[in-house]
Amino acid sequence: MPRHYYGHATAAVFAPLEPLSRPSQVARRLSDAITLGLLADGAQLPGEADLAATLGVSTVTVREALAVLRSDQLLETRRGRGGGSFVRLPPGGVAGLARRRLRQLSVVELRDLSDLYATVSGGAAAYAARRGTADDHAQIRTAASDFAAATEPGERRRADARLRVLVAVTAQSPRLYRAEVDLQAEIGTLLWLTLDDDAVHGTEAAHTRRLVSQIARRHPDAARSVAEERVRGASARLIDLRITDEPPAEES
């Protein structure tokens, strides 16, 4: 079948409903959950039937997805009593997994994803500045201090995730909230790779303090610009990492 072009929105309207196969989508969701830390190392996955019901797919699809994750060495399946599928993190933990994903993305894809994340974060910050109450400000301020005080990489990631979700929730927008959590899985997890460095973390903490103060002062434009700037800075550091992380020529 030839590919038709009807006009500028063709890609949005006439693209296949699901670009990835069902098993790949399920595998992707589960590996997102692992990278986000929702499924910890050694955690047992729900049974195939439960997973199928939760995700609204057939058990055959789930089985194929689990096979993909096993071949990526993210899952271990044990038979018999006490058996089931267990999460197995690669060496280096979630960071190792994020690094693996980082290598699969080109610089231009990373830049494009970061642009979208900056736009969503900026938009959420602007609406949070419009719609936040004093209570919302207090919660965001606490989350920002938790982020600044966090020392362990995992702790920093969770605090950052929480702060970003709170900003999206304060925007009073279910769509922005969904966009934030989707992008957190897709690119947030990669940006977190740069947070292990104390100097970078310090810079980010300073940024979040400015963000909080602009939201609390109800300055939407300033809040948007700080939030966008924060993603742009993190994305530049991530792209540096991506470029220096390039495997030797014979491997690529």
Partner 1 sequence: MSAPKDARAVLDAIGEMVDEAFATADRIGDEVCARLAGRPHPARGDLSGVESIAVAAMAEPGSRIQGAGFVAAVDLLAHETWWLEWFVREDDGRPNRLEVPTDPEAMGFHDYEPLAWFAVPRETGRPHITGPYVDNLCTEDYTLTFSRPVLLDGRFAGVAGADIGVRAAERSLLPVLRSSSRRLAVVNADGRTLASNTGTLVCGDLLDEATTRSSYAFRDLPLRVVELG
**Binding-site ranges for partner 1 (CB under 8 A):** 37-40, 43, 130-131, 133, 135, 165-166, 168-169, 172-174, 177-178
Whats the size of the chain, residue-wise?
252
Beta strands in the chain (DSSP E): 75-78, 84-87
CB 161 within 8 A of CB 208: no
CB 90 within 8 A of CB 98: no
Other C-beta atoms lying within 10 Å of the C-beta of residue 14: 12
Q: Which residues contact 8 (CB under 8 A, 6 or more apart)?
A: none
- Least spacing, CB of residue 6 vs partner 1, in Å: 31
CB 170 within 8 A of CB 212: no
- Least spacing, CB of residue 228 vs partner 1, in Å: 22
**Structure tokens of 62?**
């789930």
- Least spacing, CB of residue 11 vs partner 1, in Å: 27
Give the single-character DSSP code of 82: T
Nearer to partner 1, 78 or 175 (CB): 175
Nearer to partner 1, 180 or 238 (CB): 180
Nearer to partner 1, 158 or 209 (CB): 158
CB 168 within 8 A of CB 129: no
Nearer to partner 1, 33 or 148 (CB): 33
- Least spacing, CB of residue 150 vs partner 1, in Å: 16
CB 76 within 8 A of CB 85: yes
Nearer to partner 1, 103 or 178 (CB): 178
Calpha distance 164→83 (Å, rounded):
37
- Least spacing, CB of residue 174 vs partner 1, in Å: 4
Nearer to partner 1, 165 or 239 (CB): 165
- Least spacing, CB of residue 157 vs partner 1, in Å: 11
